[in-house]
Amino acid sequence: MPSKFPPRIYRFHLPAEEIEGATHVGHALEMLERYEQDFTMNIHLLAFADQQIRDRSKQGPAPDDVDLWRKNIGILGAWRNIAGRDGAMALYNYGKALEAISELLGNPPLGLCPTLRNLIDYKAFKAQRKRFDTAFPNIILIRHAVSHAAELMAHPADARQNLFSGDYSGGGIEIKASGFGGGLYVDGVYEDTVTRTIDGKVLTYKLSGKSALELEAIRLAVWAIFQPPE
């Protein structure tokens, strides 16, 4: 049965020169759960904003509060985009935690824990890292797009590099940008599909319960790899 708690790295059973690196491996294993929780909280934020928009749209504005109603709908729409942005950051951080573990268990100079590596099924760990990369293949570029949004469009040369000028279909989204001479910048959340545009491509990820379950499954599998034998 998978453990509900992060594995304990018995650092003091390791050579002295490996203790610092093993400590960082243990920290990264713990942080997988934190980043998974961050991702899940943004799913809840998106669901809350969607429900509020539906309720307020159904109710409609009071005759003397149209401007306030529109303002509140706009705020809720902004919350949806915040969820999409922060969900991307959570996925990026999750991937970086896996990367840190991989580097610390790898070859020098970044690899600091050869003894620990020999105590686990390193091949199984690499398979879980590949599973993450397969589930969220564009997350590094998406993270760059959400973190540097102003830079992507700061200059006409930047816009030419980053705007999307083709046609796109996927995740319930249909985009016909070929008719726009300068291209389009697609940035938003459609249902549970988060979209960003960078390097002339439309990139997406799913801010969904299915994605959260995949993160949980990867985390539990990685934790099991590091659990000491009973």
Name which residue leads in pLDDT, 227 or 183. 227
pLDDT band for 137, please (50, 70, 90 cuts): very high
- Give 3-state DSSP helix, strand, coil % of the chain, rounded to 5: 65, 10, 25
Instruction: Tell me the HSE value of 72 on the side-chain side, using a 13 A CA sphere.
Output: 15
Give the DSSP per-residue string, 100-168.
HHHHHTSSTTT---HHHHHHS-HHHHHHHHHHHHHHSTTHHHHHHHHHSHHHHTSSHHHHHHH-B-SEE
Beta bridge partners of 168: 175
pLDDT over 60 (residue 111): yes
pLDDT of residue 110: 84
Is 178:168 a contact under the CB 8 Å cutoff?
no
State the greatest distance between any 2 C-alpha atoms of the chain, in Å, as a whole number.
74
Predicted TM-score (pTM) above 0.75? yes
Q: What is the mean pLDDT of the chain?
A: 90
Question: Mind listing the pLDDT tens digit for each residue in 167-195?
Answer: 777 666 666 656 555 567 778 899 999 99
Tokens of 72: 């509140």
For residues 179 and 57, give the distance between their C-alpha atoms in angstroms, rounded to a whole number: 32
Alpha-carbon 49 to chain mean position: 19
Angle at 25 between CA 18 and CA 90, to 5 degrees: 155
